């Protein structure tokens, strides 16, 4: 799975391309297959299989024999352990080699060990099913697959190469050349005809070569792909894309806020000022009352736009941080709200924003539904978590499913791996508890 | 005539404000668009008053306010009127905390529309007065709703007008009552809140603001 760190152009185009990744199987169906590089890739894949397979076979046999023999003197045991783990590096090579004929990357099914060090690594690997599946693959590959692949690619190369080389052999020998060790050619037209046959056979062979490579790739994928590994990386990617969506959403809100502030708000202030100046001149004239009315309208529009901007993204949150912004919410609340937040340093911006809107929503719920006469927002950093609580003295019984407000808060907090807990027994009190992982330096 | 340094990044508003100030016979010695330029302009021109926006380049955060507070630290008593789009107690409080809170003002930008009142506020700040926007005072009052619950609605109104920096006469005019009534309300506010304030407008403003901010300790005796 490709890690998309941002959403800039090249990465996005990469992502789009991944939707239809070219594989040798899909290319086989195209008319231009023969002229493309894909037959060569198939040949290279099978050829490298032969080499790698031979190495695998030798490694397996050597380790097995040496390990078994030396077990009596204890040194053999580590060798047998290495034998068990042979599949791990082989599978890693196989996953990269697969890219030759299949652009869809095969996810690494192994976990990162929890701790560093050889023991932790060994323990993790030996507990994974993937390790044992990869060992099975190594055995299959070393003893069965590579000889077959070598046979196929070897035959094709020998036949085509042999035919093509006929004129050269004739020239070297001077009198005759044995074509594929089967019949004798002693004339130039014959030699050229053999070379031509070789040339014509190449595109013909390209198809079985491609088909066998495709089958081999499918087998590798089937044996080495971990279903949960694929799923996990998809889930990871989904999580990342959700974070990006929230970031983009927040950036868009900021942009709207800035546009309103720099545009409409300034123009309305200027309009109000112009009207004010006009009133100086026309105070006693017939236009006076109309100008006053126009200025009142401009003032009302300014109040509305200010509230709108504050709802989109309060400037105090950017400038002064979470505590000041929550105190501001408390000042605006219709019921008295105490703020007991203790944050020695400002949390990351995404956390501040999510927590601010969560507290805002919680306080709005308190004011609307709880019948409370008082509320408190308290919290701080504890054990690497930002914990914030909103408690009221209302009658409780809050329905967490009511409206989308709280659900939206929960969604937003969960993007940051945080949690929103609501306790609201009948008779009260209602407590909203927010927990967001927050590592501060 | 006041010699003014004006800082506002919106060209539209800056030009408008220059026109307005000149119309009332004041001289804008420098009109700039960023916090850095503001600091330089004050050093170059030694103005009678600084009028500045809060949100300015380069960061479009609260650079204007920070520059104003830094200027006050270097030149205590330099009158500064901050124009803001935000009803924000903490911004006004930072300004009030700079030197002793005299000669500062925090007004919402829309107050510019009431041209004469705006120019009057500018004068009061230039003379060392303290001017706080009514909306911000309202926020301060909400913030202190516990002790203020003891006051009647009329008394709260008087307290708010005092905090905005109004004299008894203008409070009486605003509430359409006699000055005597204002004095009576004033007396009962002092009793109920257990405050001792003298009647000079400016020290009173500071004391009331200090009380509203929950810092009775800083009141002048």
Which chain B residue has its CA at the smallest distance from A263's CA? B10
Can B3-132 and B137-215 be said to share one CATH topology?
yes
Q: Identify the band that residue A230 occupies on the pLDDT scale cut at 50, 70 and 90.
A: low
Q: For residue B30, give Cα distances in angstroms to A21, A211, A227, B17, B83.
A: 63, 80, 70, 12, 17
Residue B197 has pLDDT above 80, yes or no: no
Q: Is the peptide bond before B21 cis (omega within 30 degrees of 0)?
A: no
What is the reported pLDDT for B18?
Answer: 96
Going by C-beta distance under 8 Å and a sequence separation of 6 or more, which residues neighbour residue A110? A88, A124, A125, A128, A130, A131
Please judge whether B142 and A275 are an interchain contact, meaning their C-beta atoms are less than 8 angstroms apart: no
Sort out which chain B residues have CB atoms less than 8 A from A269's CB and list them: 13, 109-110, 112-113
Higher pLDDT, A371 or B33: B33
Which chain B residue has its CA at the smallest distance from A321's CA? B90
- Over range A228-250, report the average pLDDT: 83
Residues A135 and A188 in one domain: yes
- Over range A234-261, report the average pLDDT: 89
DSSP A265: I
Closest CB to A277 among B87, B90, B115: B115
Query: Residue A405 is part of a domain; what is its CATH number?
Result: 3.30.565.10
For A419, the 3-state DSSP assignment is strand
- Alpha-carbon gap: A431 to the closest alpha carbon of chain B (Å): 23
Task: Compute the count of residue pairs across chains A and B with CB atoms less than 8 Å apart.
Answer: 83
Residues A268 and A321 in one domain: no
- Alpha-carbon gap: B12 to the closest alpha carbon of chain A (Å): 7
Q: Identify the band that residue A12 occupies on the pLDDT scale cut at 50, 70 and 90.
A: very low
Residue A10 has pLDDT above 50, yes or no: no
Residues A298 and A322 in one domain: no
| Residue at a domain's end among A290, A312, A334 | A312
Task: Confirm whether A234 is domain-assigned.
Answer: no
Residue B199 has pLDDT above 80, yes or no: no
What is the reported pLDDT for A384?
Answer: 86
Q: Identify the band that residue A6 occupies on the pLDDT scale cut at 50, 70 and 90.
A: very low
Q: Two tokens at A129?
A: 């099913």
Task: Confirm whether A237 is domain-assigned.
Answer: no
Residue B156 has pLDDT above 90, yes or no: no
Task: Confirm whether A232 is domain-assigned.
Answer: no
Q: pLDDT tens across A263-296, in order?
A: 999 999 999 999 999 998 887 888 889 999 999 9
Q: Where are the beta strands (DSSP E) in B85-201?
A: 104-108, 130-132
Residues A107 and A219 in one domain: yes
Sort out which chain B residues have CB atoms less than 8 A from A320's CB and list them: 90
Residue A229 has pLDDT above 80, yes or no: no
Task: Confirm whether A89 is domain-assigned.
Answer: yes
- Alpha-carbon gap: B139 to the closest alpha carbon of chain A (Å): 6
Residues A148 and A255 in one domain: no
Closest CB to A316 among B10, B90, B116: B90
Closest CB to A331 among B86, B115, B139: B139
Closest by Cα among A147, A148, A106 to A130: A106
Least confident range of A256-265, A331-340, B163-172, B211-220: B211-220
Residue A7 has pLDDT above 60, yes or no: no
3-state DSSP of A104-145: CCCCCCCCCCCCCCHHHHHHHHHHCHHHHHHHHHHHHHHHHH
Task: Map out the domains of chain B as residue ranges.
Answer: 3-132, 137-215
Least confident range of A47-51, A52-56, A302-306, A436-440: A436-440
Which chain A residue has its CA at the smallest distance from B61's CA? A319
Sort out which chain B residues have CB atoms less than 8 A from A274's CB and list them: 16
Q: Which residue has the tokens 């203020």?
A: B148
DSSP H/E element including A392: strand A385-392
Sort out which chain B residues have CB atoms less than 8 A from A279's CB and list them: 115
Cα–Cα dist A354/A357, whole Å: 5
What is the reported pLDDT for B97?
Answer: 87
Domain that holds residue A28: 9-225
Please judge whether A266 and B12 are an interchain contact, meaning their C-beta atoms are less than 8 angstroms apart: yes
What is the reported pLDDT for B47?
Answer: 96
Closest by Cα among A256, A291, A276, A288 to B13: A276
- Over range A163-179, report the average pLDDT: 83
What is the reported pLDDT for A387?
Answer: 94
| Residue at a domain's end among A261, A287, A312 | A312
Task: Confirm whether A230 is domain-assigned.
Answer: no
Please state, for a pLDDT cut of 70, what percent of chain B lies above it.
95
Task: Confirm whether A161 is domain-assigned.
Answer: yes
Closest CB to A269 among B89, B110, B115: B110
Q: Two tokens at A193?
A: 């005809």
Task: Confirm whether A1 is domain-assigned.
Answer: no
Task: Confirm whether A430 is domain-assigned.
Answer: yes
Q: Provide the residue count of chain B.
A: 221
Closest by Cα among A163, A214, A198 to A25: A214
Kindly report the average pLDDT of chain B as a whole number: 88
Please judge whether B115 and A320 are an interchain contact, meaning their C-beta atoms are less than 8 angstroms apart: no
The per-residue DSSP string of B115-128 comes to HHHHHHHHHHHHTT
What is the reported pLDDT for A388?
Answer: 95
Q: pLDDT tens across A16-67, in order?
A: 344 456 788 888 888 888 888 888 898 999 999 999 999 999 999 999 998 8
Residues A323 and A307 in one domain: no
Residues A100 and A170 in one domain: yes
| Residue at a domain's end among A190, A225, A260 | A225
Identify the top-confidence range among A107-111, B116-120, B146-150. Answer: B116-120
Q: Identify the band that residue A13 occupies on the pLDDT scale cut at 50, 70 and 90.
A: very low
* CATH hierarchy code of domain B3-132: 3.40.50.2300
Q: Is the dihedral of CA B30, B35, B37, B43 positive or negative?
A: positive
What is the reported pLDDT for A30?
Answer: 83
Closest by Cα among B90, B43, B102 to B71: B43
The per-residue DSSP string of A213-235 comes to HHHHHHHHHHHH--HHHHHHHHH
Sort out which chain A residues have CB atoms less than 8 A from B17's CB and list them: 273
Binning chain B into helix, strand and coil, the percentages to the nearest 5 are: 55, 15, 30
Interface test with A, best of B12, B85, B148 (most A CBs within 10 A): B85
Interface test with B, best of A270, A283, A337 (most B CBs within 10 A): A270
Least confident range of A368-377, A397-406, A415-424: A397-406
B110 near A269, Cβ under 8 Å?
A: yes
What is the reported pLDDT for A109?
Answer: 80
Residues A58 and A117 in one domain: yes
DSSP H/E element including A51: helix A38-70
Taking residue A251's Cβ as centre, other Cβ atoms within 10 Å add up to: 10
What CATH superfamily is the domain B137-215? Response regulator (3.40.50.2300)
What is the reported pLDDT for A183?
Answer: 78
What is the reported pLDDT for A401?
Answer: 64
Sort out which chain A residues have CB atoms less than 8 A from B214's CB and list them: none
Q: Two tokens at A25?
A: 């199987």
- Alpha-carbon gap: A273 to the closest alpha carbon of chain B (Å): 4
Q: pLDDT tens across B90-100, in order?
A: 898 889 888 77
Tell me if chain A has a CB within 8 Å of the CB of B24. no
Q: Identify the band that residue A367 occupies on the pLDDT scale cut at 50, 70 and 90.
A: confident
Cα–Cα dist A294/A265, whole Å: 16
Going by C-beta distance under 8 Å and a sequence separation of 6 or more, which residues neighbour residue B173? none
Going by C-beta distance under 8 Å and a sequence separation of 6 or more, which residues neighbour residue A151? none
A258 near B61, Cβ under 8 Å?
A: no
pTM for this prediction: 0.66
What is the reported pLDDT for A406?
Answer: 80
What is the reported pLDDT for A404?
Answer: 59
Residues A21 and A124 in one domain: yes
Residues A207 and A354 in one domain: no
Residues A169 and A146 in one domain: yes
- Alpha-carbon gap: B26 to the closest alpha carbon of chain A (Å): 15
- Alpha-carbon gap: A277 to the closest alpha carbon of chain B (Å): 7
Least confident range of A252-266, B165-179, B203-217: B203-217
Q: How many domains does chain A have?
A: 3
Residue A3 has pLDDT above 60, yes or no: no
What is the reported pLDDT for A55?
Answer: 94
Q: Two tokens at B186?
A: 């004033």
Tell me if chain A has a CB within 8 Å of the CB of B144. no
Residues A286 and A334 in one domain: no
Cα–Cα dist A377/A372, whole Å: 14
- Alpha-carbon gap: A224 to the closest alpha carbon of chain B (Å): 52
What is the reported pLDDT for B16?
Answer: 94
Taking the alpha carbons at both ends of chain A, their separation in whole angstroms is: 31
Sort out which chain A residues have CB atoms less than 8 A from B69's CB and list them: none
- Over range A228-244, report the average pLDDT: 80
Cα–Cα dist A143/A356, whole Å: 63
What is the reported pLDDT for A17?
Answer: 41
């Amino acid at each position: 799975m490709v890690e998309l760190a941002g959403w800039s152009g090249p990465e996005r185009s990469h992502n789009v391309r991944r939707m239809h990744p070219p594989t040798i199987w899909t290319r086989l169906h195209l008319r231009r297959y023969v002229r493309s590089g894909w037959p060569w890739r198939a040949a290279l894949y099978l050829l490298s299989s032969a080499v790698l397979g031979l190495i695998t076979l030798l490694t397996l046999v050597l380790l097995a024999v040496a390990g078994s023999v030396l077990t009596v003197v204890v040194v053999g045991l580590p060798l047998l352990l290495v034998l068990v783990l042979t599949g791990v590096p082989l599978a890693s090579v196989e996953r990269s080699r697969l890219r030759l004929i299949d652009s869809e990357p095969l996810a690494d099914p192994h976990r990162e060990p929890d701790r560093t060090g050889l023991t932790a690594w060994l323990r993790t690997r030996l507990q994974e099913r993937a390790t044992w599946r990869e060992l099975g693959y190594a055995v299959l590959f070393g003893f069965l697959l590579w000889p077959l692949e070598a046979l196929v690619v070897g035959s094709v190369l020998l036949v085509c190469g042999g035919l093509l080389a006929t004129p050269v052999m004739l020239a070297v020998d001077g009198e005759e050349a044995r074509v594929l060790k089967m019949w004798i050619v002693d004339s130039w037209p014959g030699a050229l005809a053999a070379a031509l046959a070789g040339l014509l056979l190449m595109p013909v062979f390209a198809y079985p070569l491609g088909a066998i490579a495709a089958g081999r790739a499918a087998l590798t994928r089937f044996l080495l792909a971990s279903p949960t590994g694929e799923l996990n990386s998809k889930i990871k990617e989904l999580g990342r894309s959700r974070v990006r969506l929230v970031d983009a959403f927040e950036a868009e809100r900021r942009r709207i806020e800035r546009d309103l502030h720099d545009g409409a708000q300034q123009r309305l202030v200027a309009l109000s000022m112009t009207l004010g100046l006009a009133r100086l001149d026309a105070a006693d004239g017939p236009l006076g009352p109309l100008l006053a009315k126009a200025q009142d309208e401009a003032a009302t529009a300014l109040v509305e736009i200010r509230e709108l901007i504050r709802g989109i993204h309060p400037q105090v949150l950017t400038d002064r941080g979470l505590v000041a912004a929550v105190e501001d919410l408390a000042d605006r609340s219709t019921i008295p709200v105490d703020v007991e937040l203790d944050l020695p340093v400002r949390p990351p911006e995404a956390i501040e924003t999510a927590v601010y809107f969560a507290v805002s929503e919680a306080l709005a719920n308190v004011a609307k539904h709880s019948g409370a006469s008082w509320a408190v927002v308290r919290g701080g950093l504890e054990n690497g978590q930002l914990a914030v609580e909103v408690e009221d003295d209302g009658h409780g019984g809050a329905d967490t499913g009511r409206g989308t407000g709280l659900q939206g808060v929960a969604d937003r907090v969960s993007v940051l791996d945080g949690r929103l807990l609501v306790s609201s027994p009948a008779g009260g009190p209602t407590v909203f508890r927010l927990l967001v992982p927050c590592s501060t330096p | 005539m006041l010699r003014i340094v004006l800082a506002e990044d919106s060209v539209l508003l800056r030009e408008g404000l220059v026109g307005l100030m000149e119309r009332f016979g004041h001289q804008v010695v420098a009109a700039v668009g960023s916090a850095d330029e503001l600091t330089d302009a004050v050093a170059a021109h030694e103005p009678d008053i600084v009028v500045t926006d809060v949100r300015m380049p380069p960061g479009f955060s609260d650079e204007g306010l920070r520059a104003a507070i830094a200027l006050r630290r270097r030149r205590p008593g330099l009158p500064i009127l901050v124009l803001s789009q935000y009803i924000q107690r903490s911004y006004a409080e930072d300004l009030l905390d700079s030197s002793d809170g005299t000669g500062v003002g925090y007004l919402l930008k829309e107050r510019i529309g009431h041209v004469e009142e705006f120019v009057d506020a500018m004068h009061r700040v230039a003379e060392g007065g303290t001017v706080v926007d009514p909306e911000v005072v309202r926020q301060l009052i909400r913030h202190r709703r516990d002790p203020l619950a003891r006051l009647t609605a009329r008394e709260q109104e008087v307290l708010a007008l005092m905090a905005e920096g109004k004299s008894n006469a203008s409070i009486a005019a605003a509430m359409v009552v006699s000055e005597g009534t204002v004095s009576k309300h004033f007396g009962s506010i002092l009793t109920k809140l257990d405050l001792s304030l003298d009647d000079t407008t400016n020290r009173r403003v500071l004391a009331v603001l200090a009380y509203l901010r929950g810092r009775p300790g800083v009141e002048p005796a």
